[in-house]
């Protein structure tokens, strides 16, 4: 009994040629569909994985671009601040008087002339910590700097608030010797 099953069934007379062809065709179509389903599943999974990877890459690229833009914006703001300070810094204020001020709990000093010292006391001139040095700016320029980065400005010396108005008036009668000016 050699040959395939269809040949054997034909010889036995259990099946005719037409039914054999229909059965072959049905089996072929069934195997084709089952292979297609497995291939479609594999293709759809691969497509899903590729789409997910593309989405993750797009999200990562978007985050990196956002960080880059923020860094560029910060650089631009710092450059504008630096230009503002450099263009508005006061020059020629050096003199024989020492002006003391507090910077981060440390007492620092600048050598200034009499007019500059009086303007510092009145708040017409402000001190800015810039590039590891101290720069004097007018009040208007200092306000612009404060809007951009208030941490650069050295706080103004404040009058002691625990003293009453009556005490201030009483002590105002007495002149402060030059060697005690702070």
pLDDT-derived band at 172 (thresholds 50, 70, 90) equals confident
Instruction: Give pLDDT, residue 16.
Output: 79
Tell me the C-alpha distance between 8 and 131, whole Å: 100
Q: For Cα atoms 156, 162, 167, give the angle at the middle one, nearest 5 degrees.
A: 105
Q: Which of 5-9, 34-38, 131-135 has the highest mean pLDDT?
A: 131-135
pLDDT score, position 64: 95
Q: How confident is the model at residue 161 (pLDDT cuts 50, 70, 90)?
A: low
132 phi-psi bin (left φ>0, alpha ψ -120 to 50, beta other)? left
Per the prediction, the chain carries an average pLDDT of 83
What are the pLDDT digits (tens) for 19-73? 778 878 888 888 877 766 555 666 788 888 889 999 999 999 999 999 999 999 9
User: Which of 51-55, 87-91, 174-178 has the weakest average pLDDT?
Assistant: 174-178
To the nearest whole percent, how much of the chain has pLDDT over 70? Answer: 86
Contact 146, 85 (CB under 8 A): no
Q: Mean of the pLDDT values across residues 85-100? A: 87
In this prediction, residue 27 carries a pLDDT of 84
CA 6 to chain centre: 76
Domain residues of the chain, as ranges?
7-88, 97-158+170-180
Q: Residues 84-106: what's their mean pLDDT?
A: 87
SS3 170: helix
Predicted pLDDT of residue 159: 53
Question: Which pTM value belongs to this model?
Answer: 0.54
Q: Is the pLDDT of residue 156 over 70?
A: yes
Between 31-35, 95-99, 109-113, 134-138, the lowest mean confidence (pLDDT) is in 31-35
pLDDT at 85 over 60: yes
The pLDDT of residue 37: 59
């Amino acid at each position: 009994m050699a040959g395939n099953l269809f040949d054997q069934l034909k010889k036995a007379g259990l099946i005719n040629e037409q039914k054999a062809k229909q059965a072959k065709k049905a089996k072929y179509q069934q195997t084709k569909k089952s292979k297609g389903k497995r291939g479609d599943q594999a293709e759809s999974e691969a497509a899903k994985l590729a789409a997910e990877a593309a989405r993750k890459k797009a999200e990562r690229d978007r985050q990196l671009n956002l960080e880059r833009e923020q860094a560029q914006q910060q650089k631009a703001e710092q450059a504008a601040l630096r230009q503002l300070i450099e263009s508005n810094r006061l020059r020629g204020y050096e003199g024989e008087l020492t002006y003391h001020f507090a910077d981060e709990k440390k007492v620092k000093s600048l050598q200034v002339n009499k007019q500059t010292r009086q303007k510092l006391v009145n708040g017409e001139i402000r001190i800015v910590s810039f590039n590891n040095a101290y720069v004097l700016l007018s009040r208007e320029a200092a306000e612009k700097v404060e809007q951009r980065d208030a941490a650069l400005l050295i706080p103004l010396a404040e009058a002691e608030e625990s003293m009453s108005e009556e005490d201030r008036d009483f002590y105002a009668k007495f002149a402060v010797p030059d060697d005690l000016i702070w």
